[in-house]
């Protein structure tokens, strides 16, 4: 690995610390180096707060370290437009940094390349495209969201060897190992939202919060086309109910919707297609709330709908070494995941985790 790549990896490492807190902004980390040594670091910590470049520059200035003539590394092109904060590009020029190394360009078509151009116009050497794949991977939620206006979708499934997610009585407890359940809680804190269907609320009454890991709770989205779910379910009655969003159809009565809204639960009305919620319409409306990523946690009907509509970006399948015999199938469709770009396997307790990305 070259020194450039090592420093970019450090940017990615720093950037990752913001996971779960910066949406709908990207994850950005920044490193300032002089004579091949890191002299300051920073990352974007929270939506609305300083950008990574500003944090790194301020960190150096605060300690009285000169950054004149230094090299700045950042995984995403610095901004050149006036947003919530001053443009990073101006800050870089002002501090007479001599070289900027960038992972990937800004994906916004209107601003992509503008930051780089302004830096060059001010005599700063710019190199872009270092660890491009890794930078894209880290910000896959943000990149998909910006480019398509739809959140990044990961379908998570916990099943037995014979593809069952519950026994014939819809009991799904204890299929996967504790390690796997812990990992799912870690996922929840990185995704902006988790999503389930009506049936899962009725059978499992889950809270979908982060318990076996430290971190913030995600938004909890439920699809309930007729708005029939009982308001005493955990999602609608626990102390996080302001983070619950219900997706329902356009033709549900205002009175029904009001019953949810007066509890501080958000209701989004969507188009229907063939009697079912038009998922694409729902995802566009969810995206408008600043939700860039969704972890679909089932059940079978919901996961299968996302697969059928080709709306999944990734699949995480936990397989427990157990044969159920009779039970509820995880999927009710036929799909060949072998043609997805990346397939990885990991051990998770006694389970295996298959990670598949498009």
Which residues are known to be catalytic? 53
In the complex, what is the shortest distance from the CB of residue 295 to a second copy, in angstroms, rounded to a whole number? 19
| C-beta of residue 15 within 8 angstroms of C-beta of residue 138 | yes
If the CB atoms of residues 108 and 358 are measured against a second copy, the closer one turns out to be: 358
CA distance 352 to 295: 19
Closest by CA to 330, choosing from 356, 307, 298, is 298
Task: Give the count of alpha carbons within 13 A of 29, CB side only.
Answer: 19
In the complex, what is the shortest distance from the CB of residue 322 to a second copy, in angstroms, rounded to a whole number? 5
If the CB atoms of residues 37 and 336 are measured against a second copy, the closer one turns out to be: 336
* DSSP of 259-296: HHHTTT-EEEEE-EETTEE-HHHHHHHHHTTT--EEEE
| Residue 216 CB neighbours (<10 A) | 12
Partners of 343 in beta bridges: 356
Residues engaged in binding a second copy (CB under 8 A): 159-164, 177, 307, 317, 319-326, 329-338, 340, 343, 345, 347, 350, 352, 354, 356
If the CB atoms of residues 256 and 357 are measured against a second copy, the closer one turns out to be: 357
If the CB atoms of residues 92 and 324 are measured against a second copy, the closer one turns out to be: 324
Residue 176, token pair as written in the block: 């996967």
In the complex, what is the shortest distance from the CB of residue 346 to a second copy, in angstroms, rounded to a whole number? 9
Rg (CA), the chain: 23
In the complex, what is the shortest distance from the CB of residue 344 to a second copy, in angstroms, rounded to a whole number? 9
If the CB atoms of residues 111 and 335 are measured against a second copy, the closer one turns out to be: 335
In the complex, what is the shortest distance from the CB of residue 173 to a second copy, in angstroms, rounded to a whole number? 14
Residues in the chain: 358
């Amino acid at each position: 690995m070259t020194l450039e790549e090592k420093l970019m990896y450090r940017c990615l490492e720093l950037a990752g610390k913001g996971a779960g807190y910066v949406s709908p902004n990207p994850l950005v980390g920044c490193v300032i180096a002089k004579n091949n040594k890191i002299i300051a670091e920073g990352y974007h910590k929270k939506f609305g707060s300083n950008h990574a470049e500003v944090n790194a520059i301020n960190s150096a200035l605060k300690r009285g370290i000169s950054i004149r003539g230094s090299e700045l590394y950042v995984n995403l092109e610095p901004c050149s437009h006036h947003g919530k904060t001053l443009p990073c590009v101006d800050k870089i020029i002002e501090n007479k940094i001599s070289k900027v190394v960038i992972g990937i360009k800004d994906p916004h078509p209107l601003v992509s390349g503008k930051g780089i151009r302004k830096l060059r116009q001010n005599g700063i050497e710019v190199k872009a495209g270092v660890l491009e794949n890794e930078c894209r991977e880290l910000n896959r939620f943000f990149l998909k969201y910006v480019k398509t206006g739809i959140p990044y979708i990961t379908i998570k499934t916990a099943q037995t060897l014979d593809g069952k997610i519950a026994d014939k009585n819809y009991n799904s407890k204890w299929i996967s190992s504790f390690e796997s359940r812990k990992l799912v809680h870690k996922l929840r804190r990185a995704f902006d939202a988790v999503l389930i269907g009506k049936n899962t609320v009725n059978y499992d009454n889950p809270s979908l919060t982060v318990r076996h890991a430290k971190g913030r709770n995600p938004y909890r989205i439920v699809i309930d086309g007729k708005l029939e779910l009982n308001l005493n379910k955990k999602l609608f009655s626990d102390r996080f109910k302001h983070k619950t969003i219900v997706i329902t159809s356009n033709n549900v009565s205002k009175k029904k919707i009001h019953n949810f809204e007066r509890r501080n639960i958000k209701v989004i009305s969507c188009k229907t297609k063939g009697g079912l919620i038009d998922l694409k319409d729902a995802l566009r409306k969810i995206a408008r709330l600043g939700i860039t990523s969704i972890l679909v946690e089932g059940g079978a009907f919901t996961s299968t709908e996302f697969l059928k509509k080709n709306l999944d970006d990734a699949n995480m399948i936990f397989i427990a070494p157990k044969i159920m015999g009779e039970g509820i199938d995880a999927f009710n469709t036929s799909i060949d995941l072998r043609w997805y770009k990346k397939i990885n396997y990991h051990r998770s307790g006694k389970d295996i985790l298959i990670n598949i990305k498009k």
